[in-house]
Amino acid sequence: MAAVVHVNSLLNGKDSRWLQLEVCREFQRNKCSRQDTECKFAHPPANVEVQNGKVTACYDSIKLNTEKNQII
């Protein structure tokens, strides 16, 4: 039954877990030496809520950044 609920939520587009990014642990300790663009983990600004070590990305932001980075 749980699998059916999961599939239904994916099909309905309401499952936002794929938008969750793990926050850099070193960044949280102010010790990450990488730039935001070089680190594979999120470096969220102070006004972004972190829950269980993750942040939820804005779909429109990802879409916009993807479109900007497309090779024409």
Q: Tell me, what CATH number does 30's domain have?
A: 3.30.1370.210
* Residue 65 in this model has a pLDDT that exceeds 50: yes
Any domain includes 33 = yes
Residue 9 lies in a domain: no
Instruction: Give a yes or no: residue 55 inside a domain.
Output: yes
56 lies in some domain: yes
Q: What's the pTM?
A: 0.61
Domain count, the chain: 1
Whether the per-residue pLDDT at 4 is higher than 80: the answer is no
Structural domain harbouring 52: 17-68
Per-residue pLDDT, 13 = 63
Residue 8 covered by a domain: no
Burial code (b: 16+ CB inside 10 Å, e: under 16) for 18-34 equals: eeebebbeebeeeebee
- Per-residue pLDDT reduced to its tens digit, 8-62: 555 566 787 888 999 999 999 999 999 888 999 999 999 999 999 999 988 887 7
